[in-house]
Amino acid sequence: MVKAVAVITISDTCFKDNSKDTSGPALADYVRELFPEANLHTIIIPDEKEIIERELKYFCETNLDLVLTTGGTGLTPRDVTPEATKAIIQREVPGITTAITLASLKKTPMAQLSRAVAGVREKTLIINFPGSKKAVTECFEVVKPILPHAISLIHNEVVEVSYIHNSMQFNHTCKHSSNVDISKVALRPRESPFPMVEMSEAWKMVDDVMSEWTERLEIVTIEEGLGRVVAQTLHAKEPMPPFPASVKDGYACLSIDGAGVRRVRTAVTAGDAPTAPLCAGECARVNTGAALPAGADCVVQVEDTRLVSASEDGQTELEVEILKAPEPQQDVRNVGFDIPMGTVLVDKGQVLDSAKIGILAGAGYQNVTVRVPPKVALLSTGNELQEPSEVKLKPAHIRDSNRTMLRMLLKEHGYDSIDCGIARDSPPEIVAGIAAALKLADVLVCTGGVSMGEKDLLKPVLLKDFNATLHFGRVRMKPGKPCTFATCEFEGKKKYIFALPGNPVSAYVCALVFVVRALRRAQCARAAWPRLRLRLAHGAQLDARPEYARATLELHADRDMPYATMLGSQCSSRLLSACGANILLELPAATPSLQRLPAGAIVPALVTGRLDIYS
């Protein structure tokens, strides 16, 4: 799918006077028609090689699919588009320009003078077009049939894109082999060889490893930017309001006139152009948001005035009395009152919310550069698992709930994921499942098979077949003890693997405290969940491990602090305990002297859900 295209008009003349650009808008229209779903960026730049190179590179770095330039391909000394394009492309596609030239020669011998270039940088196809509307129309017709296919080829996405967002079944019963020997079950270790790390150490490892992630950027419309992490600081290019505006419905006056009778010279409603300056003794009827006439320095609200005289038909106010002497600047929003020019509207690393997007809209920004989060793949493991869509359960089988739950959990927190199906509990199938997932994603989140049973194969497969580094293989937490975090090189790229325990609640808690944190960390956004202190609504039995109890937070007007109510039995197989949870209580580990916390005890909690949604 073609997601984003740029049309760049390259012309000194059009740069000075945008209204002279006819080929850019024409090209933009053709693009809209061919790729109606795509985000379209249009800019006009001068015939400066450095600027052209910089803009082309910027669009390639932000993963645009296609960049079409118009202008600067001829023979005058200022025509440098082909040189700039050649300087930044990595592979030339001369067939495209040959086809354009051959077609154009049939219309005009002048086509011989075009020096246009076409080529690819990273995943972006760039094509130079001449600078006239007519030429652009003819040339676009030539390339139109090949564009979608060329872009798919560049992305090598014949299969890839169709995987994304789709629940899809992988056949993991392929020829992969494994170095893991499962024949000698009697000789398996009776103690886990993996040291049990504390939560604080595990978080540090996740943070350290994920901060190596190299930033990837893309340009999206401001609306698509909701929930995304901004990669570029955006400033106000104009003050807001851009003119002195009235805060009230009333009369714009000169404050030095004080109280008394004024001639109502004119009326200005919001959107009206300012009138001639007011003179002493005059006022103008104004509405909230209207531009103040020159000379006026204050507004008196209608409530503080009295009508003195009006036209006979009642349609025109002639004189009003200002009852209270106004102060200078009273009820006036001066230029830049809300947003002075140059103000930082959104800063690098901030997450876009509705208000920030509203501000960007008001400031004339249509697009924003955001960080691309790592791609995540989900894989379930287990011989007992059936697809959620299967109506009848086989003996000793259950439906896979982890994949769906994790997909939704990630979506709730702003991340897409690729569904890589179920791998059976055999080394070659797990190898095949992991390999298929790592081909598609940067981060693999799999569940099951990380504990002590002879079918718990994830850790040995990661170590022996993927040569992975296991940063941790056990964490002192409940639920989630065997949670595993590993990295490996796969097809020349570093991959990040969270092998979560199969128990549904363990997978849920570990996804919240490790996976979401890692994805945020990779984008240099705030990674840790906010922590609150609150009171237990009831007593709580403590475990030998620190426990993340699923609970709801309640605010009571008559109580000093928020209260937490745990959601029933906290057994790690009982996903009902997470239904409607908006906090994870951090219950401390039991000590010989403290086995239970009484009702009213103060405990910390991670706020992992929306506080306005209760169970």
Ligand X SMILES: Nc1nc2c(c(=O)[nH]1)N[C@H]1C(S)=C(S)[C@@H](COP(=O)(O)OP(=O)(O)OC[C@H]3O[C@@H](n4cnc5c(N)ncnc54)[C@H](O)[C@@H]3O)O[C@H]1N2
Residue 479 binds to ligand X (criterion: CB under 6 A): yes
- For ligand X, the closer of residues 128 and 178 by Cβ is 178
Which region among 213-221, 409-417, 500-508, 527-535 touches ligand MOO (by CB under 6 A)? Answer: 500-508
Long-range contacts of 520-524 (CB under 8 A, 24+ apart): 521/206, 521/207, 521/210, 521/211, 521/213, 522/210, 522/211, 522/213, 522/373, 522/374, 523/213, 523/215, 523/229, 523/371, 523/373, 524/211, 524/215, 524/229, 524/349, 524/371
503 forms part of the interface with ligand MOO (CB under 6 A) = yes
Phi, psi of 111 (to 5 degrees): -60, -20
Q: Which H helix or E strand runs over 417?
A: none
Residues that bind Mg ion (CB under 5 A): 451, 453, 456
CB of 605 to ligand X, least distance (A): 22
Interacting residue with ligand X among 250, 448, 473, 609 (CB under 6 A): 448
Size of the site for ligand MOO (CB under 6 A): 8
- Closest CB to ligand MOO among residues 40, 500: 500
Least separation in angstroms between residue 187's CB and ligand X is 16
Q: In the bound complex, what is the minimum distance in angstroms from residue 384's beta carbon to ligand X?
A: 5
DSSP alpha helix (H) spans, 441-532: 458-465, 504-510, 517-522
Partner whose binding site includes residue 288, from ligand X, ligand MOO, Mg ion, none (CB under 5 to 8 Å by kind)? none
Burial of 374 (0-12, 13-18, 19+ CB in 10 A): middle
Shortest Å, Cβ 448 to Mg ion: 7
DSSP H helical ranges for 341-392:
354-362
Encoded tokens for 220: 């999206």
- 128 interacts with, out of ligand MOO, ligand X, Mg ion, none, CB within 5 to 8 A per kind: none
- Minimum CB distance to ligand X smaller for 326 or for 501: 501
Phi, psi dihedrals of residue 242, rounded to the nearest 5°: -80, -5
The stretch near ligand X (CB under 6 A) out of 35-43, 107-115, 126-134, 395-403 is 395-403
Among the listed residues 264, 284, 279, the one whose alpha carbon sits nearest the alpha carbon of residue 332: 284
Helix (H, G, I), strand (E, B), or coil: what is residue 200? Answer: helix
DSSP letter (8 states) at residue 296: -
Q: For residues 153 and 452, which CB has a smaller minimum distance to ligand MOO in the complex? A: 452
Supply 552's token pair. 């709801």
- Distance (Å, whole) CA 285 – CA 266: 6
CA–CA gap between residue 155 and residue 153 (Å, rounded): 5
Q: How far is the CB of 450 from ligand MOO (least distance, A)?
A: 10
Q: Which of 248, 356, 481, 517 binds ligand X (CB under 6 A)?
A: 481
Q: Which of residues 497-526 bind ligand X (CB under 6 A)?
A: 501-504, 506
Q: Select the residue interacting with ligand MOO from 506, 552, 570, 582 (CB under 6 A).
A: 506
Cα separation, 61 vs 124, whole angstroms: 9
Query: Which one, 360 or 385, has the nearer CB to Mg ion?
Result: 385
- Quick one: which segment of 251-259, 364-372, 382-390, 583-591 binds ligand X (CB under 6 A)? 382-390
Which of Mg ion, ligand MOO, ligand X, none binds 402 (CB below 5-8 Å, type-dependent)?
Answer: ligand X
Residue in 453, 530, 539, 568 binding ligand X, rule: CB under 6 A: 453
Min CB(352)–ligand X separation in Å:
33
CB atoms within 10 A of CB 297: 20
Q: How far is the CB of 572 from ligand X (least distance, A)?
A: 5
CB of 407 to Mg ion, least distance (A): 22
Per-residue exposure over 57-66, b if at least 16 CB sit within 10 Å of its own CB, e if not:
bbbbbbbbbb
Site residues for ligand MOO, 525-584, by CB under 6 A, read 572
167 binds ligand X (CB under 6 A): no
Integer angstrom CA distances of residue 533 from 207, 249, 512, 537, 579: 24, 47, 19, 13, 22
Binding residue for ligand X, selected from 131, 244, 326, 449, defined by CB under 6 A: 449
The angle, 0 to 180 degrees and rounded to 10, between the axes of the packed helices 94-105 and 133-143 is 120
Tell the smallest beta-carbon distance from residue 192 to Mg ion (Å): 12
For Mg ion, give the closer residue by CB, 145 or 453.
453
Q: Which of 178, 506 has the CB closer to Mg ion?
A: 506
**Binding-site member from 230, 450, 486, 540 for ligand X (CB under 6 A):** 450
Q: Does 482 bind ligand X (CB under 6 A)?
A: yes
Measured from the CB of residue 401, what is the shortest distance to Mg ion in angstroms?
A: 16
User: Closest approach of Cβ 449 to Mg ion, in Å?
Assistant: 6
Q: What does the alpha-carbon distance between residue 4 and residue 62 come to, in Å, rounded to a whole number?
A: 9
Phi then psi for 550, rounded to 5 degrees? -80, 130
Q: Which stretch binds ligand MOO (CB under 6 A): 23-31, 71-79, 168-176, 472-480?
A: 472-480
Q: Cβ 399 to ligand X, closest distance in Å? A: 7
Residue 192 CB, nearest approach to ligand X (Å): 7
Query: Which residue from 390, 422, 408, 424 is spatially nearest to 168, judged by alpha carbons?
Result: 422
Interface with ligand MOO in residues 475-494 (CB under 6 A): 478-481
Cβ burial, residue 275 (10 Å; 0-12/13-18/19+): middle
Q: Which is nearer to ligand MOO, 192 or 366 (CB)?
A: 192
**Cβ partners under 8 Å of residue 26, min gap 6:** 133, 136, 137
Q: Amino acid identity of 463?
A: L
Collapsed DSSP state (helix, strand, coil) of residue 188: coil
Residue 130 binds to ligand MOO (criterion: CB under 6 A): no
Angstrom distance (rounded) from CA 151 to CA 63: 12
CA distances from 477 to 193, 445, 483, 499 (A): 17, 19, 9, 15
Stretch that binds ligand X, among 226-234, 319-327, 444-452, 597-605 (CB under 6 A): 444-452
Q: Which does 398 bind (CB under 5 to 8 A by kind): Mg ion, ligand MOO, ligand X, none?
A: ligand X
User: Residue 389: CB partners within 8 Å, gap ≥ 6?
Assistant: none
- Using CB positions, name the residue nearest to Mg ion: 451
Q: Which does 9 bind (CB under 5 to 8 A by kind): ligand X, ligand MOO, Mg ion, none?
A: none
Using the minimum distance from each CB to Mg ion, give the nearer residue, 242 or 453.
453
Contact residues toward ligand MOO (CB under 6 A) are 478-481, 501, 503, 506, 572
Contact residues toward ligand X (CB under 6 A) are 380, 382, 384-385, 398, 400-402, 447-453, 456, 479, 481-482, 501-504, 506, 572-573
